[in-house]
Amino acid sequence: MYAYTRANFEGAYRYFSYICPNELNWSTMKALRHLASILTLMLLGTTISSAQNQGFNLVVVGDPQPQTEAQITSLEEEIIPHIATIVDEYKATGYPTAILLTGDVVWDTMKFLPRVKADFEALGVPVYAVIGNHDHNKRHKHNQPRSEQNFIDTFGSRNTSFMLGETLFVTFDNIDYTSFSGYGEKIDADQLIWLAEVMEEHPDVERVAVCMHASATDFRTGELKPYIKPVVGIIGNRKIDFITGHRHHHDTADISSSIVEHNVSQVNGNLWYAPIGSDGMPKGVFCIEERDGEWQWHHQLLGKRAEDALVAWPTGRVKDNEEYVVVKVIGWDDKWRVEWSENGTAMGAMEQIEILDPYYMYYVENEADYRPKYMKRLYRSAHPHRHYYRCRPTQENSHITITARDRFGRKYSVKM
């Protein structure tokens, strides 16, 4: 009998996924990728099953939110192919890989829900989603069950649970929908009862990932929102990772020694109107990797490597910081450490600053050309962020090296 090796599989996958790419349209490519994924399961068999208890790879996609045909076409032709590359690299690790959409899967355009789901499923991995405020059908005011039906018909129950690796995932609908502009946030008693039952079914799990659309914390105070505290109480003495979207900003915040929130920025920039988020986060996805029960994560830019985490500006380029070299840290949290050297001499830690993103503001002020109400939205959504650092060179034309380390000890550098 023919022995199916990893090399056999990888060759078959490349053949079915990439043969004559210039002659295939996106629909054909999706079909071929789906076929390649079936071959993956057939050929690898026991190899995959032996790895499933050891970890996973999760690609978190923040608020895709297409509203028009042009936007969903851009999602399909410009964004998903980059995500496909990340997914393919993760598949090659041998660990189970999945995709999570953080809500606002669409932008009030209910007919796009099945299409977006099919687009991501064509990448050949399981796709999970939470419901966002824009995934409620705004035609059904004051009737939450009816407003959610399109989403449920597409993705299933608004609250689900599943295991990835050694982590229990639960998805919550935390949007209390009354109307397009009148929604709030809530987790009701029935949902808490459901969560308690799920926890009883998984008494031995040590980490729970709670996936919702709206954030679990008030980022002005850093504290859990009141309706989230019963969720934490039911989960009990376990590690908790909240995975959320909605704000269109990137924030990873340590709420306590055992609770972290990962608020994922929008994958398409800023509401499809700017190619970069209003907090300065370029288009990208949030990647979580579990190995032997331990998590690591990073924000990966579309079309870039995971190592490309630093964006630097030389002196004279950043407003109000013309005398400084300024660097932006992609995927920053307060566990990062950023240092610099000048002409080979270590100069110590860089100074952290909170500014508006130079690229975002340049785009809004010089390139964006929309109707006044959309221009106001672009300006209004711009907020300073803390993922910037600066240093002042002591000599002209110095060679500057910036080195950063994240909470996991991974090292990143850029030279100027």
Kindly report, residue by residue over 339-356, the tens digit of the pLDDT. Answer: 999 999 999 999 999 999
In a 3-state reduction of DSSP, which class is residue 243? strand
Q: What is the mean pLDDT of residues 250-258?
A: 94
CA 32 to the chain's CA centroid: 26
Kindly report, residue by residue over 401-416, the tens digit of the pLDDT. Answer: 999 999 999 999 999 9
Q: How wide is the angle at C-alpha 331 spanned by C-alphas 330 and 337, nearest 5°?
A: 85
405 φ, ψ to 5°?
Answer: -130, 135
Helix 26-44 vs helix 6-18: angle between axes, to the nearest 10 degrees? 170
What percent of the chain has a predicted confidence (pLDDT) above 90?
81
44 vs 13: CA distance, rounded Å: 12
CA atoms within 13 A on the CB side of 225: 15
Residues 6+ apart with CB under 8 A from 110: 137, 150
Q: Read off the amino acid at residue 54.
A: Q
32 vs 44: CA distance, rounded Å: 18
Query: Dmax of the chain from CA atoms?
Result: 70
209 vs 188: CA distance, rounded Å: 19
Tokens of 167: 């982590």
Q: What is the end-to-end Cα distance of the chain in Å, rounded? A: 57
pLDDT at 31: 53
Kindly report, residue by residue over 233-247, the tens digit of the pLDDT. Answer: 999 999 999 999 999
Q: Read off the amino acid at residue 43.
A: L
pLDDT at 332: 96
Q: Are 32 and 26 within 8 A, CB to CB?
A: no
pTM for this predicted structure: 0.86
pLDDT at 178: 83
Q: Are 141 and 181 within 8 A, CB to CB?
A: no
Residue 6 confidence class, pLDDT cut points 50, 70, 90: very low
How far lies 131's CA from each of 43, 216, 389, in Å?
35, 15, 36
Produce one character per residue of 359-396: b if its CB has 16 or more CB atoms within 10 Å, e if not. bbbebbeeebeeeeeeeebbeebbeebebbbbbebeee
Looking at every residue in the chain, the average pLDDT score rounds to 89
Q: What is the mean pLDDT of residues 312-322?
A: 96
Burial class (CB in 10 A: 0-12, 13-18, 19+), 221: exposed
pLDDT at 45: 44
